[in-house]
Amino acid sequence: MNTIFRLAATAALGALVTACTSNGAAVEPSVTQANLTVNTLQFAVGTANYAGTAALNTVVAYRQPNGNSAVLLDTPTITGPAGFVIPSVASAGVDAGTNHISGSPQATPGTAATPSTFGQSGGAFSYGFAPVNSNNAGAPSYTLYSQPFYTTPQRKFTGGPPLYPNPQDGTYPPNFRGWSQGFTSFAGVPLSIGTYSLSVNVPVVNASGITQTASATLSSAALLPAILAPTVARAGANGATVTFTAAAGTTESIVYIVDSTQGTNFSALTRGSGPQTVTFPDNLGAHGFGIAPTPTFNTGDSLVAYVVGYDYGAYEASPPSNTSAAPSITGLNGQADITVSPSTTFTY
């Protein structure tokens, strides 16, 4: 298989492509019931505080023993405890008013897929849910979900340099923008205490599909404190500094900057709570294959910056550095809680 796609599969969402046609399009792999038994499905739930708006947070890791994504195509369903109800919004599809958040099985060509939260493109992968299910047509997708589900405004959370390898170094597909952060959150749902179950149905060649399951418990609906919007300033020749106050109860925070003008993503890590400053250095732009490093940001670029605080090791569980079959995806309280700041827009 082409090295570019193997790298992207391993490092990004865990495996968008392990079998490719001659033109690099994703195809459904040959999956057997036997090789699925060695995979590990992990699931965690927690709370999400979107600047005062409560949401349910989830984290999934579905991996082979080598840490790659377990499969390229699956249909997930999250079922909540008593009192858990999906809001009656169009984006929920058939999930509206039920106690489950689901995807849709692949529809027969020429027929419409059943509308659902994840749709037929959504699956569980090495680190997070994502709309990247494999199919037999077109180029592979590397997109991520906008969050939180069932409400607006939404945003994407994408890992980039300097925290992650630079996807603009010439070794990744042009439409690959960065790494999944593992979490998926849902607004407008009650934070019901109890057990949440995840089932993942995987189609199997010449046999009935197989379903793997995992569960997680929400024992506390208490939100992490809110984070104020960060402050952004120019630094160096073409870098930036971001200052913010990390929330009490978080063990680490990741600062995200989206350059809306260039369509690029950047992220940096801090640990602990209290006042924090992170620096995005110069020359993190496109480079490689004889191309000298280019500026991180250009004068006039429109930047959007925001912060996520985590009470668990979100970065430590993330590909490409974590290749464990079973990474730790919860904090000391057994949950995966996050708090998300408002965004700051900055013209560079």
Instruction: For the chain, give every domain's residue range.
Output: 3-347
Q: Do residues 223 and 54 make contact, with C-beta atoms less than 8 angstroms apart?
A: yes
- Asked whether 108 and 88 are in contact (CB, 8 A), the reply is no
Q: Classify residue 282 by burial, with Cβ atoms within 10 Å: 0-12, 13-18, 19+.
A: middle
**C-alpha to C-alpha distance for 115 and 36, rounded to whole angstroms:** 27
Residue 138, C-beta contacts closer than 8 angstroms, at least 6 positions apart: 25, 26
Note whether 285 and 264 are within 8 A (CB): yes
* Predicted pLDDT of residue 88: 97
Task: Write down the pLDDT at residue 138.
Answer: 58
- Is the Cβ–Cβ distance between 225 and 249 less than 8 Å? yes
122: number of CA atoms within 13 Å, CB side?
22
Residue 204: the pLDDT is 81
Reply yes or no on whether the pLDDT at 9 is more than 90: no
Question: Of the candidates 263, 277, 282, which has an alpha carbon nearest to the alpha carbon of residue 162?
Answer: 282
Cα 102 to Cα 92: distance, rounded to the nearest angstrom = 9
Label residue 170 by pLDDT band (50, 70, 90): confident
Across 39-48, 103-112, 260-269, least confident range: 103-112
Which residue shows structure tokens 């992207």?
Answer: 8
Q: Which residue has the higher pLDDT, 174 or 296?
A: 296
Q: What does pTM read for this prediction?
A: 0.89
Average pLDDT, the chain: 89
Q: Sign (positive/negative) of CA torsion 71, 72, 73, 77? A: positive
Q: What is the pLDDT of residues 183-193, one digit of tens each?
A: 999 999 999 99
